[in-house]
Amino acid sequence: MGIAKGQKTAIVIGTGAGGATIANELQGDFQVTMLEAGKEFRPFSLSVNRLAGFRKTGMFFDERLIRLLLPNMLVEKTPDMVMVRGIGVGGTTTLATGNAVRCDASLKELGIDLDGEFEELYETLPITTDHRKKWTKATRSMYALFERMGLDPVVTPKLLDAKACIGCGHCAIGCPAGAKWDTRSLVREAIRKGAFLETGCSVTGFAVSGNAVTKVFAMQNGRRKEYEADLVILAAGGLGTPQILERSQISCEKTLFVDPVLCVAGPLQGLRQDRQLLMPFISQQDGYILSPYMDYLSFFFHKDWRLEMRDIASIMIKLADEEKGGISIRGRKEGRGRAAGVRIDKVMTKKDQENMQTAVALAREILERMGVPAASQFLGILNAGHPGGMLPLTQSASASLHDPRLPQNLYVADATILPRAMGNPPILTIMALAKKIARIV
Ligand SMILES: Cc1cc2nc3c(=O)[nH]c(=O)nc-3n(C[C@H](O)[C@H](O)[C@H](O)COP(=O)(O)OP(=O)(O)OC[C@H]3O[C@@H](n4cnc5c(N)ncnc54)[C@H](O)[C@@H]3O)c2cc1C
């Protein structure tokens, strides 16, 4: 399919929550080309139990090796934690547990009204709490305990076909039943409407002339590529987008947040939490959330997680961290050519550590009440999968949703523009923002 004469063109970089949403919205008004660094998503296809047997051989010594099992999951290390993100069609939404939570308070404070966009999302996406009907005994008893403890658990709205869910607990390593929704549907929809998709195409930077992006540089199969378009949308995620901007001489801020996650776990024979939909309910606390979650990363890569998965009880803490951190690009900085090395400068601040300690104490108490003695409890790997905030929206940009540092034909439409850590699932809010930006451009 060619480009209609006179039709404006748009390049969308990344096909995750923000990228796929905006590409699908723009296709038609623009001829859209999606440039995606990764390939098609492939779910984890091996037997978890069989692989678990290899843990004692010591072969799972570095979390980054997860990519051998799950090629679309990229793990990067900082001194304090490991960062997890999805590289491939659908971005990190393919690894998400499908939570669909509206959390736009910080945007509302800036005067950004997303009511219409959320309404549309609720109308068009398969958001449901129907999974509750299929809860296992373990989930039901955990929910009842949370209630008894006054923790106000709320059944998590999920991007899910609850009927098709087989309760395998694999939500975060690729739903084998195709029950969980992710943004690959929007990519397919955009293509159906005429958009182009280039996979394995990693954008390295831009050329800017006057106040406009004139060229987008990328590497595909070891080859340099150049693209031109009237409009460029950057949606390479909270870590990918700042890298491309910095390499194009556009500085971001040191305001990276990541929503650090820590699981507190312990032995509970025959609980079978491995057969539970991940994060079936959420308890909102001051600055963090608690939710039942089987942590695959810790299960394979943390030396204390040596039990069978079926006998582990695990509570996840997800923290709203301080917006302090950034990235440093090493080596070549220009936008052309191979991507340079990147260091993620993110540590837990004193306040983050204090909040985490409070949360751990509460999670430990829950486990004790479930029958897991304090002495047998253990912690997981501190990790994070909600990076964002390095080009935060401000009140002055609340109408344009365009940062004045950016050339006039370049917009950012992903977690990078969120103003604050939410300590909560951000997909729905990023999608609402992406829809709004599509309307503006
Ligand atoms: C294990 C896990 C579970 C999660 N569960 C949930 C959940 O249940 N609900 C929820 O709301 N949130 C969840 N999240 C977080 C959520 O998935 C992310 O916050 C969200 O997807 C971010 O959207 P984004 O558009 O900013 O980036 P992403 O979705 O990460 O998309 C970025 C895209 O850009 C591409 N890309 C990166 N660099 C380049 C480049 N140089 N050139 C071209 N393309 C590039 C990537 O391949 C990707 O497709 C989870 C995260 C993890 C890690």
Evaluate whether residue 195 is within a structural domain: yes
Q: Which atom of ligand 1 is found nearest the CA of 158?
A: 8
How far apart are the CA of 96 and the centre of ligand 1, in A? 8
Ligand 1 pocket check for 242: Cβ under 6 Å: no
Q: What is the pTM of this model?
A: 0.96
Evaluate whether residue 408 is within a structural domain: yes
- Tally of structural domains, the chain: 1
The amino acid at residue 388 is G
The amino acid at residue 224 is R
Evaluate whether residue 2 is within a structural domain: no
Q: Which pair of tokens denotes residue 194?
A: 């005429």
- Domain extent, residue 218, equals 8-46+56-440
The half-sphere exposure of 74 on its side-chain side, counting CA atoms within 13 A, is: 13
How far apart are the CA of 424 and the centre of ligand 1, in A? 14
Domain containing 161 — which CATH number? 3.50.50.60
Evaluate whether residue 3 is within a structural domain: no
Evaluate whether residue 240 is within a structural domain: yes
Ligand 1 pocket check for 425: Cβ under 6 Å: yes
Evaluate whether residue 51 is within a structural domain: no
How far apart are the CA of 285 and the centre of ligand 1, in A? 24
Give the pLDDT confidence score for residue 336 in this predicted structure: 67
Evaluate whether residue 1 is within a structural domain: no
Ligand 1 pocket check for 377: Cβ under 6 Å: no
Q: How far is CA 1 from the centre of its chain?
A: 32
How far apart are the CA of 40 and the centre of ligand 1, in A? 14
Residues of the chain with pLDDT under 70: 1-4, 331-340
> β-pairing, 212-220 with 223-227?
antiparallel
Ligand 1 pocket check for 294: Cβ under 6 Å: no
Evaluate whether residue 100 is within a structural domain: yes
Beta bridge partners of 180: 160
In order of 141, 182, 191, 288, the CA distances from 18 in angstroms are 36, 12, 16, 24
In order of 17, 26, 176, 333, 434, the CA distances from 429 in angstroms are 9, 18, 26, 32, 9
CB neighbours (10 Å) of residue 193? 13
Q: Which pair of tokens denotes residue 134?
A: 């299929």
Give the pLDDT confidence score for residue 1 in this predicted structure: 45
Name 383's Cβ contacts closer than 8 Å, sequence gap at least 6: 63, 81, 82, 83, 84, 260, 261, 262, 297
Q: Which atom of ligand 1 is found nearest the CA of 429?
A: 11
How far apart are the CA of 155 and the centre of ligand 1, in A? 23
